[in-house]
C-alpha cells in the first residue's frame, strides 16, 4: 500500500486483518495480516518479483481449502490473496507475481489436485555412508554438495517454486553421519569424505561394508565435527520447513556403515546388539531433528526373509525403527511423526499386525508405481494389478514412487504426458502422494557439461522445465498450453514459444515410445540413452528380438510379427515409422527455431541440441527395430533379401548413433552411470553399433541364440 492511502482505509484494513503490518519491498508493496505473516509468506514475497506499482493484500480465510488460494482485484486496484493456510498464501503470492510477469490473468481460485507432491533424492552422505548405489559419477561428485548450505538453499527454493512440498532423502544408514549416541560414541563418522578407491562398475558400493572405513578407501574433503553436521541438517530442515517442504529420510536394510564391528553390532538379523543400536539411532534421529517430518523403511534386499518369530523381517523393523520412534515420542508428547513403509520384499498382509497396527501416528505404504520407467506410458498397470485391493481393503494410503531411470542427460518436456500420468494415479485418499526421482542418478549439481558454470549448475535448474511440469501439474492439472508457452517465452524470448513448445513435446515422445517397444522393468536392465545394461551388456539386435514390447502397449513383438505379419497391433516397422515421423517433426521445428535465433543464449543453444539428440536417438532405434526384424526373418525363413535388408538398416542405425554421439559428446563429458555403465557414445558404444552389423552379416538360417529358442517354437 502506498503512502498516500487515506487513513480511514488503513483503519478499515487494520480491523479486517488484525492490525496488519505493511512491508515495503524492492518491487511492489505487500500488506500482510498478522495472522498471515510467517516465513512461507515472506519467502513468496521475496520470490514473486512483483512490479514496482503493485499493491498486494494477504490474508487468511479458513473457508479456503488446504493449500488453496483465491486472488481477486479490489476496487482500489490492489490485489488480494486469500488462503486458508501458509501454503495457500505462499502459492497465491507466487502465482500472482508469475501471472503478472507472464501477462496472464491473475484472478483465480486454486486448490491442489494432489496434496503431497515430492521428490526422491538418493543422497550420497559420504564415501563411508553411501546411498543405494553411489558408484556413478553423479553420486561421487555430489558428496561435498550435500554438506553445502548454498546448494540446499538453491535447491529448496526451486522445488518450493515448482510447488513440491515433500522431499524424501534416501540413504542406506544415515545415522552415523547425522546423530551422536551417548552409548555408541565411536560409530559417528567425522568429516566429509569422497571415495579414493577405483570404482568397480559391477559392485554396489554398499557391499564393501567395513572396507569403506579402511585407510586408503576415502579422502577427507571437508573437516566437520558431529555437532557441525547436526547443525547443518537442522538448518536444512528448518530452511525447507520455511518453504513448506516436509523432509523424510528413507533407508534400506540391514546396513550399518560405520557401526559394524563395534559394540557387538553385526549384520546378523538376530543379533540383539544390532537391534538395540538401531533402536537408539532411530530414537535420537527423531529427538535430534525437531523439523524432521517422518521416516521410511525398506524391508530390504539385505535381510534374511527366512527367519521367523521376533527375528522376522517385519518384527525386526518394528523392534528397531518402530520402537525407536515410540520411545522418542514418549519424550515429546504431542509431536506427530509420519512413517512410510515401502512394499518391497514384503507385502501388506505381512506388515499389518507386526508393524502398521502398532504405529502410533500417521503411517502409509509406498509402491514403485512405474517400476523404473517413468517415461514409458502414462497409465502403468502395476499398482492396480498388485496392490490396490490390499491398500483399500486395509484402509491405507499409498505413496507412489515415480522412478525416472530413463533420462539423465537430455532435457525432457511433454506437458500432456505429465498431466495424463498424474491424472491416472489413484485418487486420494488411496493416494498418499508421489515422490519422483532416480536410483541411478543424484539430482544435485551437474558435473558433465562441456561448458560448465561456476559453481556447477543445479540439475533442477538445468532441467527446470521437467521439474516444473511434474510439480505444477501435480498441484493444478488444468494448466494448459498457453501457460507453458508463456513460461517458455519468459525463459527464451528470442524464439517463438509455440514452436518451441511443439518441438520440445515431439522430442519428448521418443523415449516413451522406445521404452514401450523394448520393455525392461528395472534400471540395471536397460538404459535408453546408452542402449546398455550392467548385467546384460549392450542391447544388441538379439535383445530387441528376445525382449519385446510392453504387454499392454498394443505393439507386436518381432517374433510374433515374423510368424504372423498380419497380426493385429502396431508391428515393429510401424513403430519404426512412427519414430522417424517424430524425428522429422523435431528436425523441422529445430530448423525453424534456429533460423529465428541467430545468436541464441547458451541455454537455448544447448536445449535445442538436447532435442536434436533425441531425434537422432529416435532414428537410431527406428533402424535398429527394422534391422532386428530382418535378422529374425532371415534366421526363420532363410531369405537372403532379409539379410541384405538387415545389414542396410543396421548400417543406417550405426550412422544415426554416430550423429547422436557427436551431439551428445559436444554437450556432455562421458560419465559412469551407477546402474548401467558409461556414456562413452563415440567409443565403446559406437563399437557396439558396429557389432550389430557384424551380427547380421554372420547370421545363419535356423540358428538362434539359446535364450531365444522359445521365441521360435523350439
Give the closest residue to 72 by CA, choosing from 94, 96, 100, 104.
Answer: 96
The answer to whether the CB of 460 falls within 8 A of the CB of 467 is: yes
**DSSP state letters, 186-249:** GG---SEEEE-SPP-TTS-GGGGGGGGGSTTSEEEEE---HHHHHHHHHHHHHHHHTTT-EEEE
Query: Can you give the pLDDT at residue 200?
Result: 66
Cell 528448518 belongs to 238
- Spatial distance between the Cα atoms of 607 and 584, rounded to a whole number of angstroms: 18
543: CB partners within 8 A, 6+ apart: 518, 536
Query: Can you give the pLDDT at residue 109?
Result: 97
Other CB atoms within a 10 A radius of the CB of residue 381 amount to 12
- Spatial distance between the Cα atoms of 167 and 152, rounded to a whole number of angstroms: 12
The full length of the chain comes to 714
Task: For residue 309, give the DSSP letter.
Answer: G
Other CB atoms within a 10 A radius of the CB of residue 419 amount to 22
The answer to whether the CB of 11 falls within 8 A of the CB of 18 is: no
Query: Can you give the pLDDT at residue 27?
Result: 56
418: CB partners within 8 A, 6+ apart: 469, 470, 473
- Spatial distance between the Cα atoms of 28 and 49, rounded to a whole number of angstroms: 8
**DSSP state letters, 15-68:** HHTTS-EEEE-SSSEEEE-TTT-SHHHHHHHHHS---TT-EEEEEE-TTSPTT-
- Spatial distance between the Cα atoms of 80 and 299, rounded to a whole number of angstroms: 49
Planar angle of CA 36, 433, 131, nearest 5 degrees: 105
The H-assigned helical ranges of 369-463 are 382-386, 388-393, 415-424, 459-462
Query: Can you give the pLDDT at residue 622?
Result: 98
CA 250 remoteness from chain centre:
15
Query: Can you give the pLDDT at residue 711?
Result: 54
433 bridge partner residues: 399
pLDDT beneath 50: ranges in the chain: 1-26, 713-714
Using only C-alpha atoms, the chain has a radius of gyration, in whole angstroms, of: 27
Q: 607: which 3 cell numbers? A: 536445449
Cell 520393455 belongs to 519
Other CB atoms within a 10 A radius of the CB of residue 24 amount to 10
Q: What pTM was computed for the model? A: 0.95
- Spatial distance between the Cα atoms of 702 and 183, rounded to a whole number of angstroms: 69
120: CB partners within 8 A, 6+ apart: 168, 170, 401, 402, 403, 435, 436, 437, 438
Element (H, E) at 90: helix 86-102
Give the closest residue to 490 by CA, choosing from 360, 625, 601.
Answer: 601
635: CB partners within 8 A, 6+ apart: 699, 700, 701, 702, 703, 704, 712
Element (H, E) at 297: strand 292-297
SS3 assignment for 449-473: ECCCCCCCCEHHHHCHHHHHHHHHH
Query: Can you give the pLDDT at residue 205?
Result: 77
Query: Can you give the pLDDT at residue 533?
Result: 87
Element (H, E) at 158: helix 149-161
Q: What does residue 216 show for φ and ψ, rounded to 5 degrees?
A: 90, -10
- Spatial distance between the Cα atoms of 178 and 208, rounded to a whole number of angstroms: 21
393: CB partners within 8 A, 6+ apart: none
Query: Can you give the pLDDT at residue 301?
Result: 83
- The counts of H helices and E strands in the chain are 25, 20
- In angstroms, the Cα distances linking 274 to 60, 311, 336, 632 are 49, 12, 27, 55
Sign of the torsion formed by the C-alpha atoms of 500, 377, 674 and 158? positive
- Spatial distance between the Cα atoms of 530 and 674, rounded to a whole number of angstroms: 13
Query: Can you give the pLDDT at residue 202?
Result: 60
**Start-to-end Cα distance in the chain:** 81
Give the closest residue to 699 by CA, choosing from 550, 569, 540.
Answer: 540
Q: 481: which 3 cell numbers? A: 498450453
Amino acid at each position: 500500500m502506498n503512502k498516500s492511502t487515506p487513513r480511514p482505509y488503513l483503519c478499515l484494513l487494520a480491523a479486517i486483518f488484525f492490525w496488519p503490518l505493511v512491508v515495503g519491498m524492492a518491487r511492489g508493496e505487500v500488506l500482510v495480516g498478522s495472522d498471515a505473516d510467517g516465513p512461507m509468506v515472506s519467502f513468496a514475497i521475496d520470490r514473486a518479483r512483483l512490479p514496482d506499482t503493485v499493491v498486494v493484500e494477504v490474508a487468511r480465510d479458513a473457508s479456503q481449502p488446504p493449500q488453496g488460494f483465491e486472488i481477486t482485484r479490489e476496487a482500489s486496484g490492489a490485489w488480494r490473496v486469500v488462503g486458508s493456510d501458509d501454503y495457500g498464501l505462499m502459492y497465491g503470492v507466487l502465482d500472482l507475481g508469475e501471472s503478472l510477469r507472464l501477462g496472464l490473468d491473475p484472478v483465480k481460485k486454486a486448490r491442489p489436485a494432489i496434496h503431497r507432491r515430492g521428490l526422491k533424492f538418493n543422497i550420497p552422505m559420504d564415501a563411508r555412508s553411501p546411498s543405494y548405489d553411489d558408484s556413478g559419477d553423479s553420486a561421487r561428485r555430489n558428496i561435498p554438495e550435500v554438506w553445502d548450505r548454498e546448494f540446499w538453499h538453491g535447491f529448496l527454493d526451486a522445488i518450493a517454486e515448482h510447488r513440491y512440498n515433500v522431499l524424501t532423502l534416501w540413504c542406506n544408514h544415515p545415522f552415523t553421519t547425522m546423530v551422536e549416541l551417548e552409548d555408541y560414541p565411536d560409530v559417528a563418522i567425522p568429516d566429509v569424505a569422497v571415495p579414493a578407491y577405483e570404482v568397480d562398475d559391477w559392485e554396489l558400493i554398499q557391499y564393501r561394508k567395513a572396507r569403506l572405513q579402511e585407510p586408503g578407501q576415502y579422502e577427507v574433503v571437508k573437516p566437520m565435527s558431529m555437532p557441525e553436521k547436526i547443525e547443518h541438517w537442522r538448518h536444512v530442515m528448518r530452511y525447507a520447513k520455511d518453504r513448506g517442504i516436509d523432509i523424510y529420510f528413507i533407508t534400506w536394510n540391514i546396513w550399518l556403515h560405520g557401526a559394524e564391528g563395534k559394540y557387538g553390532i553385526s549384520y546378523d538379523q538376530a543379533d540383539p546388539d544390532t537391534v538395540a543400536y538401531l533402536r537408539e539411532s532411530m530414537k535420537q534421529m527423531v529427538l535430534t531433528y525437531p523439523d524432521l517430518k517422518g521416516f521410511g523403511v525398506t524391508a530390504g534386499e539385505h535381510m534374511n526373509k527366512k527367519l521367523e518369530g521376533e527375528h522376522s523381517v517385519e518384527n525386526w523393523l518394528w523392534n528397531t525403527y518402530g520402537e525407536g520412534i515410540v520411545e522418542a515420542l514418549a519424550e515429546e508428547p504431542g509431536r506427530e511423526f509420519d512413517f512410510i513403509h515401502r512394499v518391497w520384499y514384503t507385502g501388506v498382509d505381512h506388515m499389518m499386525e507386526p508393524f502398521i497396527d502398532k504405529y502410533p501416528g500417521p503411517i502409509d505404504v509406498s509402491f514403485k508405481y512405474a517400476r523404473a520407467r517413468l517415461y514409458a506410458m502414462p497409465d502403468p498397470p502395476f499398482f492396480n494389478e498388485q496392490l490396490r485391493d490390499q491398500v483399500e481393503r486395509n484402509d491405507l494410503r499409498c505413496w507412489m514412487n515415480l522412478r525416472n531411470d530413463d533420462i539423465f542427460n537430455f532435457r525432457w518436456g511433454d506437458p500432456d504426458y505429465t498431466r495424463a500420468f498424474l491424472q491416472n494415479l489413484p485418487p486420494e485418499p488411496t493416494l498418499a502422494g508421489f515422490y519422483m526421482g532416480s536410483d541411478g542418478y543424484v539430482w544435485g549439481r551437474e558435473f558433465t557439461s562441456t561448458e560448465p558454470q561456476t559453481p556447477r549448475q543445479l540439475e533442477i535448474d538445468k532441467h527446470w522445465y521437467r521439474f516444473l511440469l511434474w510439480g505444477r501439474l501435480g498441484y493444478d492439472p488444468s494448466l494448459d498450453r498457453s501457460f507453458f508457452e508463456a513460461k517458455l517465452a519468459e525463459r527464451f524470448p528470442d524464439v517463438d514459444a509455440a514452436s518451441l513448445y511443439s518441438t520440445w513435446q515431439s522430442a519428448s515422445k521418443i523415449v516413451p515410445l522406445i521404452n514401450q517397444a523394448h520393455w525392461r522393468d528395472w534400471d540395471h536392465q536397460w538404459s535408453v540413452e546408452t542402449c546398455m545394461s550392467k548385467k546384460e551388456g549392450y542391447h544388441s539386435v538379439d535383445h530387441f528380438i528376445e525382449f519385446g514390447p510392453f504387454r499392454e502397449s498394443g505393439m507386436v513383438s518381432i517374433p510374433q510379427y515374423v510368424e504372423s505379419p498380419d497380426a493385429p497391433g502396431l508391428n515393429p516397422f510401424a513403430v519404426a515409422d512412427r519414430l522417424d515421423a517424430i524425428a522429422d517433426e523435431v528436425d523441422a521445428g529445430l530448423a525453424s527455431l534456429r533460423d529465428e535465433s541467430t545468436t541464441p543464449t547458451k541455454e537455448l543453444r544447448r536445449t535445442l541440441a538436447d532435442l536434436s539428440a533425441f531425434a537422432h536417438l529416435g532414428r537410431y532405434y527406428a533402424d535398429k527395430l527394422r534391422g532386428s526384424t530382418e535378422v529374425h526373418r532371415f534366421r526363420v525363413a532363410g531369405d537372403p533379401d532379409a539379410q541384405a535388408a538387415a545389414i542396410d538398416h543396421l548400417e543406417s542405425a550405426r550412422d544415426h548413433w554416430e550423429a547422436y554421439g557427436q551431439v551428445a559428446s559436444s554437450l556432455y563429458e562421458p560419465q559412469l552411470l551407477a546402474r548401467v555403465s558409461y556414456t562413452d557414445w563415440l567409443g565403446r558404444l559406437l563399437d557396439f553399433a558396429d557389432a550389430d552389423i557384424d551380427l547380421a552379416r554372420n547370421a545363419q538360417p535356423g540358428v538362434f541364440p539359446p535364450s531365444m529358442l522359445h521365441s521360435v517354437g523350439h
